[in-house]
């Protein structure tokens, strides 16, 4: 029997291989709900190669919130910490964004936070209260151009 990490990697690789093409084609992104599945594209922090992963996102205006309970094992999150320039797929369209990363011991500068809309800042402040544990973290994907009305 294989070890749990190998099983986890193989399981999510299989699921992601099925879900990713559906999300890129516009599936799982109903305009009726404040959440959707997206495909997040990052650059590998060591290799520099493109990486992609389907994720659940919560939409607030033209900003997206993504999170992980596996901070140290979530490669996509670790990649965001090194290079915040990302692209994501939502509703069958690719969009450019900049990730603002929040994890224990890491958060954007006050100037970057001031650039966020007031409601997004309020949610960030509330979510930041829960960052006491070592394994939970989140990121805000801020669009490079305004794309309100997903």
**Measured between alpha carbons, how far is 113 from 53 in angstroms, rounded to an integer?**
26
Residue 56 lies in a domain: yes
Residue 86 lies in a domain: yes
* Alpha helices in the chain, H assignment, sequence order: 4-24, 75-82, 110-114, 118-128
Task: Give the closest residue to 133 by CA, choosing from 68, 63, 40.
Answer: 68
Instruction: Report whether pLDDT(146) > 60.
Output: no
Residue 77 lies in a domain: yes
Residue 27 lies in a domain: yes
Residue 150 lies in a domain: no
**C-alpha distances in angstroms, 37 versus 34, 89, 111?**
11, 9, 29
pLDDT, tens digit, for every residue of 9-60? 788 788 888 888 888 888 877 666 788 899 999 999 999 999 999 999 999 9
C-beta separation of 51 from 79 below 8 A: yes
pLDDT, tens digit, for every residue of 63-79? 999 987 776 678 899 99
The tally of domains found in the chain comes to 1
Residue 79 lies in a domain: yes
Within a 10 A sphere around the Cβ of 90, how many other Cβ atoms?
Answer: 23
pLDDT higher at 10 or 94: 94
pTM equals 0.83
Residue 149 lies in a domain: no
**Measured between alpha carbons, how far is 37 from 89 in angstroms, rounded to an integer?**
9
Residue 43 lies in a domain: yes
Q: What is the CATH number of the domain that holds 83?
A: 2.30.110.10
Domain that holds residue 129: 4-143
């Amino acid at each position: 029997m294989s070890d749990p990490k190998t099983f986890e990697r193989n399981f999510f690789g299989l699921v992601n291989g099925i879900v990713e093409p559906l999300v890129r084609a516009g599936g799982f992104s109903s305009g009726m709900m404040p959440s959707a599945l997206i495909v997040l594209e990052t650059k590998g922090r060591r290799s520099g190669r493109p990486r992609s992963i389907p994720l659940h996102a919560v939409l607030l205006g033209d900003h997206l919130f993504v999170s992980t309970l596996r901070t140290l094992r979530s490669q996509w999150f670790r990649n965001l910490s090194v290079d915040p320039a990302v692209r994501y797929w939502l509703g069958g369209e690719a969009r450019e964004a900049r990730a603002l990363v929040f994890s224990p011991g890491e958060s954007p500068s006050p100037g970057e936070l001031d650039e966020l809309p007031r409601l997004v800042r309020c949610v960030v402040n509330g979510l930041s209260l829960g960052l006491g544990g070592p394994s939970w973290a989140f990121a805000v994907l801020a669009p490079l151009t305004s794309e309100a009305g997903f």
